[in-house]
Structure 1
């Protein structure tokens, strides 16, 4: 999960570094043109090079009728499991290139509407809703930072150029790297230590203790960013606040998802959909509300 948070948050904080130089050298319009070109090339590569890997590996269970209990051992059940694939690989037909690239795959699986309804049902589960709300809260702080960085650093008394505003996000990248280490390995170490103190029983709530760091650093970083800019503190104070806020965002995202997975491991796939739904709703509401 630390790697997941590093990839998610790190990409968001690394993009402004490149965008600053693009805006200064080619104009702000090319900040949107280059991602569009990149997405178009990626679409072609994914379509032709990334095959569908979704596969239902459940083995069908076929009942056997007419078994006499007197003739069979009482310990044996009245059914057998028939493997979907022959042990020697016989009967397996390799798909053609057109079949592998096909958009429609008639593979057995769960109905999409059923899974969507299930994800909405999970909104009433406290742990899942809390994980989504926590995840969304840390994304909101990123939106606040993103929306005000150019205004604060590009205006007086700092008067940063577009490239320098972009380079200020190097602090965020460093914070994300440190946060991924803290929320990954150190979080696992703390959870194991707490489980040993709890007679060897690991509880999902043991994941929540690192939130104590976020409880102090998030408001401190926001105060340093907002109040510091209002009082025209040295630019290093603002850059330091950006790094601390990025650190807490990485830690908060990782712990929120870890808490969900440890609580509901078997349904974590569908539960993550609910978490993302809450996260995106909060991000859109704050960004455009």
Structure 2
């Protein structure tokens, strides 16, 4: 990007950037699901989503000063320097911990329990199922809850790669399993006619919801310079970068609301449900977000179209930042609670859908604004955001029933993954 001068080069380097940035979007969320308990994941995912938002919002602030002081090319040279330093840091400090787990009796017992709709307990209760009794038999007698095992100390890494005993069939299977996950509830949502039955409405909202939330951020990123640089605002490059502090603050509040506070809400609702925790409890956080984020989009577009004081559209950006954190945290928390055993595949599917939607809306937003005008475009975008987010109410009511109907499909994907 720092040396490209032709349109084709611009496309090529962005393809490389996409390939390089894709892994970081999935790996942290999957790691969180492996490390933390169910009632803690919301807070940790909130911190992760805020980290993504922090980079998205602080980047333009730094970029504005770079362009002003050093020129637009140096904005990309600094990216090369920072990523190069991270490359050295990651290579020498991140130890490869992957190992192959055989499909033993523990895994078979786990698969056999997937027909139970209530898979996760927030409170400790006595299980009466035969599967749980069989599972406890295979646990090592010396394993104690809370026991800390000895581990090797830190060691500098030197090997360039490691190989593992697997087949090319297993490798290619990992490529198409995420596509099969699209038909699972909590992975994708497509519109149906009013006469669609509940069995037909077997595809749901997380990919679309998260995708549209990120798309509204991309819409703002595309239009901020077009709004604040000309009259009546006449912001400089550095001033345009500073307006991104507003969505940064909003995303911080949204991360706390959809993370730790939402974790407490799910525990409270689980206690009322005799200790059984349902993934749909997390979706209640979408109700206030369905009002706040569309309101921010409409405020941003309508006030900027009429040239009102800059604080009005900037405040609207803060509301959009709040909705972005809520959308990312709640969707990933819900998907991980619903399909913990295939978390890698479903997270990959959600990110794929999210990026496709984000690309489409970002690609067409300028033509959209040219055709409808700034105010009408953002009013329409706000209404669309409200409709997509409020559809969570449908899944609060019917989500558990849809998960029950797809238990067999879930088990099949688990077994395919284990092969």
Normalising by the residue count of structure 2, what TM-score does the alignment of the two structures yield? 0.57
1:170 is aligned to 245
Q: Could you tell me how far apart the structure 1 residues matched to 2:360 and 2:179 are?
A: 18
Q: Could you tell me how far apart the structure 2 residues matched to 1:150 and 1:254 are?
A: 28
SS at match of 1:23: helix
Q: Could you tell me how far apart the structure 2 residues matched to 1:98 and 1:237 are?
A: 51
Match of 1:262 among 332, 337, 355: 337
Q: Which runs of 5+ in 2 are unaligned?
A: 1-44, 106-137, 140-151, 189-204, 365-419
Q: Could you tell me how far apart the structure 2 residues matched to 1:24 and 1:145 are?
A: 21
Question: CA shift at 1:57, angstroms?
Answer: 4.0
Match of 1:126 among 185, 191, 200: 185
1:77 is aligned to none
1:85 is aligned to none
Match of 1:216 among 291, 294, 314: 291
1:274 is aligned to 349
Pair 1:103-2:178 in alignment: no
Q: Does 1 or 2 have the higher relative contact order (CA < 8 Å, sep 6+)?
A: 1
Question: CA shift at 1:60, angstroms?
Answer: 7.1
Q: Could you tell me how far apart the structure 1 residues matched to 2:222 and 2:278 are?
A: 38
Residue 180 of structure 1 contacts residue 251 of structure 1 at CA under 8 Å; is this kept in 2?
A: yes
Match of 1:144 among 201, 206, 219: 219
1:253 is aligned to 328
Match of 1:188 among 235, 258, 263: 263
RMSD over aligned Cα atoms? 2.6
SS at match of 1:111: helix
Match of 1:229 among 294, 304, 313: 304
Residue 51 of structure 1 contacts residue 101 of structure 1 at CA under 8 Å; is this kept in 2?
A: no
Moved more, 196-205 or 101-110: 101-110
Residue 66 of structure 2 contacts residue 72 of structure 2 at CA under 8 Å; is this kept in 1?
A: yes
1:202 is aligned to 277
Q: Which runs of 5+ in 1 are unaligned?
A: 62-79, 82-93
Residue-by-residue CA offset, 1:64-92 (whole Å, 9 max, x unaligned): xxxxxxxxxxxxxxxx99xxxxxxxxxxx
SS at match of 1:127: coil
1:87 is aligned to none
Residue 139 of structure 1 contacts residue 279 of structure 1 at CA under 8 Å; is this kept in 2?
A: yes
2:315 is aligned to 240
SS at match of 1:210: helix
Q: Could you tell me how far apart the structure 1 residues matched to 2:104 and 2:260 are?
A: 40
Q: Could you tell me how far apart the structure 1 residues matched to 2:54 and 2:156 are?
A: 37
SS at match of 1:251: helix
1:12 is aligned to 56
Question: CA shift at 1:41, angstroms?
Answer: 3.1
Q: Could you tell me how far apart the structure 2 residues matched to 1:247 and 1:99 are?
A: 40
Q: Could you tell me how far apart the structure 2 residues matched to 1:286 and 1:36 are?
A: 28
Q: Could you tell me how far apart the structure 1 residues matched to 2:349 and 2:283 are?
A: 20
Residue 56 of structure 1 contacts residue 108 of structure 1 at CA under 8 Å; is this kept in 2?
A: no
Equivalent pairs, count:
258
Normalising by the residue count of structure 1, what TM-score does the alignment of the two structures yield? 0.82
Residue 52 of structure 1 contacts residue 101 of structure 1 at CA under 8 Å; is this kept in 2?
A: no
- Between Structure 1 and Structure 2, whose CA radius of gyration is higher? 1
Q: Could you tell me how far apart the structure 1 residues matched to 2:174 and 2:289 are?
A: 33
Q: Could you tell me how far apart the structure 2 residues matched to 1:11 and 1:49 are?
A: 22
